[in-house]
A and B are shown apart, each in its own frame.
With several copies, the nearest count.
Chain A
Amino acid sequence: MTTINYISAVTQALEEEMERDEGVFVLGEDVGARGGVFRATEGLYERFGEERVLDTPLAESAIAGVGIGAAMYGMRPVAEMQFADFIFPAVNQIVSEAAKIRYRSNNDWEVPLTIRAPYGGGIHGALYHSQSVEAMFSSIPGLKVVIPSTPYDVKGLLKAAIRDNDPVLFFEHKKAYRLIKGEVPEGDDYTVPIGKADVKREGDDVTVITYGLCVHFALQAAEKLQEEGISTHILDLRTIYPMDRTGVVEAARRTGKVLLVTEDTKEGSVLNEAAAAIAEECLFDLDSPIERLAAPDVPAMPYAPPLEKTFMMNEDKVESAIRELAHF
């Protein structure tokens, strides 16, 4: 095991998959000589050359669409959207094409495409460099949506995404890139299965179901609350769509009190699927209402620090919400 940061896990996964399979190539804006604006593709251009680490024109629909074409041909493209906020011009290609090609062709064609994009706030990125966009893609059969929280999961899930024969949206928290560090097995070619949630902490009083950077807020809060005698169970969804229904229901049953946490705005967030699954499957096992903790329903995170803080999720907000639920 070595300790690496979240973004290095991205780079390692890319590098190892490119090494392993000639069909894997990277395309996106500034992914080449620049190594990506966050440096996620650093060193790949030097190692694999410009054909396999392709700087594209500034046109997201083309990045997705060209990626889809290459994937149908039989390659395994990894397309980068520079920020999740800039995935929207590519929505038609992702939703109408990538997601529906296997089904519409009755399994004749497939799209083994991975689309990576940094999401999330807390980095003074303002409205358009801070968004969580997963809710828009989490009702689209044919797509998979993955949001990892730890370097271990980043690496294992990104490799799984690249090897997956279906299109995967892979959202990486940009604040986690250099903030979150964790252990990754050295020289071990592992994958983490897409579609499985993961218990990141066991506990008996309150269940927190969350994903991405918020997992860490929950872990920190749980650590503190432990001292007050509150025991928190934390489920990391990891795959947002299709959601691990069994994992969610089990985690809810475990404590009977459920706190759902997202950095995204509240109404219509992906947490709702967890809420609905629990309400369908184990309503009568609950000891308190299902709580949602999320950003306020305003268009996106403002730039001015006090406003950003009001919008952004953090450890304290999670802590109070858990405490409240524990005392319900």
Chain B
Amino acid sequence: MSEPKHEALGLERDQLLSMFKTMLTARKIDERMWLLNRAGKIPFVISCQGQEAAQIGAVTALNTEEDYILPYYRDLGMVLHFGMTIQDLMMSGFARSEDPNSGGRQMPGHFGSKKHRIVTGSSPVTTQVPHAVGFALAGKIKRENFICLTSFGEGSANQGDFHEAANFAGVHDLPVIFLCENNKYAISVPVDRQLSCERVSDRAQGYGMPGETVDGNDPLAVYEVVKKAAERAREGSGPSLIETVSYRLTAHSSDDDDRSYRGREEVEEARQKDGIVTFAKYLKEHDLLSEDEEKDMHNSIQKEIDKATDLAESAAYAEVETTFNHVYDA
């Protein structure tokens, strides 16, 4: 029997459990958001569900003390790993003044925190991608050692900004990881009506960079390719394009109803491959996680979420006068 994958990758048990815990935390926060939305308590949710494995696999390969991430709206898992707390995210869900992303100015899913090196994001897709290149360029000029990871959906890979940014990074060998989280849909549009190529990673060659497509349900597989890309970037050998393939398990957002454009069986089938399920299985198969430990993990996360929900629910909105603040530097 060959060496288990995590050993080959040099990942220890505590790292693996921490990965799993963050995946689970992201999932559970998201589930809570939907409940709150359906209860009329928060106006909007956009989910990470189905992409946690890819997200956590990817950021585990980064240095949270040095590197920058420019995530997109589904990257709840990533920002948790980079230091955002459950409470922070609940404050954001409830649009409270203590939301560190925007003080309740932006919808949930619009992440940003300078302290955690999470660069502020917006709604128009793909605009963060050239920003990542700008960070990397600045780092190169300043002789810094950090790298940047930016992520986006497969639909968003068709925006001009992706192309222009990838080419720029390629020309100047900048330390950027372009991570495309292919979840097979852009709202209602399936990949085959969105993408003219087989794999998003087929585009890498056009930017003179390596391209990889990897199972987005397998955090270890994602970790492996991102790790390689990160090393490459840190060495000064330039950018990489990585595509993680998984599935969007929820509707596009709380405003969407996906029954008009995809069958339930398809969704059910994808649920079988859900990284949360399969990674738990992997950990158990390798005696890294017991049923009891798993249950405890569930419970402790749930408790934290409950607490954060209560706190956030009773927290205050920003004062109305603050509407006028921070248009320009004071």
Knowing A34-B187, A57-B195 are in contact, say whether A103-B317 is a contact too (CB < 8 A): no
Q: Does B132 contact A (CB under 8 A)?
A: yes
A-B interface contact total, Cβ < 8 Å: 245
CB <8 Å contact, A61 and B327: no
Chain B residues with Cβ below 8 Å from A59 are: 158-160, 164, 167-168
Check: B213 CB closer than 8 A to any chain A CB: no
A180 to chain B, nearest CB (A): 20
Q: For the complex, what is the distance from the CA of A60 to the CA of B322, rounded to whole Å?
A: 33
How far, in angstroms, from A229 to B100 measured CA to CA in the complex?
Answer: 49
Q: Which residues of A contact B302 (CB under 8 A)?
A: none
B323 touches A311 (CB 8 A): yes
The answer to whether B260 and A105 touch across the interface, beta carbons within 8 angstroms, is no
1/0 per residue, CB under 8 A from A, across B125-144: the answer is 10101111111111111100
Are A128 and B326 touching (Cβ within 8 A)?
no
Q: Is the CB of A126 within 8 A of B167?
A: no
Binds B, one of A94-102, A197-205, A285-293, A319-327: A94-102
Question: Is the CB of B272 closer than 8 A to any CB of chain A?
Answer: no
A187-201 with Cβ < 8 A to chain B? none
Q: Which stretch, A7-15, A106-114, A272-280, touches the partner chain B? A: A106-114
In the complex, the answer to whether B122 meets A62 with C-beta atoms within 8 Å is no
Given the known interface contacts A61-B160, A74-B138, the answer about A104 and B261 at a Cβ–Cβ threshold of 8 Å is: no
Q: How many residues of A contact B (CB 8 A)?
A: 76
Tell me, yes or no, whether A246 is within 8 Å of chain B by CB: no
* Interface 9-residue window, one of B102-110, B227-235, B306-314: B102-110
Chain A CB within 8 A of B119 CB: yes
Known: A58-B158, A65-B133, A303-B104. 10 other contacts (CB 8 A): A32-B188, A37-B255, A55-B188, A58-B194, A65-B130, A77-B134, A93-B127, A102-B326, A144-B328, A165-B329
Q: Which residues of B come within 8 Å of A, CB atoms?
A: 43-44, 95-97, 100-107, 110, 112-114, 119-120, 122-125, 127, 129-142, 155-156, 158-161, 164-165, 167-168, 171, 186-189, 193-195, 255-256, 260-261, 317-320, 322-329
Pick the 6 closest A-B CB pairs, nearest first: A69-B134, A65-B130, A128-B123, A69-B131, A34-B188, A106-B103
Could you give 29 example pairs across A and B, Cβ below 8 Å? Answer: A32-B188, A33-B260, A34-B187, A37-B255, A55-B193, A56-B168, A58-B155, A59-B164, A59-B167, A61-B161, A66-B165, A68-B134, A69-B134, A69-B136, A69-B137, A86-B124, A89-B161, A97-B131, A104-B110, A105-B102, A124-B107, A126-B123, A127-B105, A127-B106, A299-B327, A304-B104, A305-B95, A306-B319, A307-B323
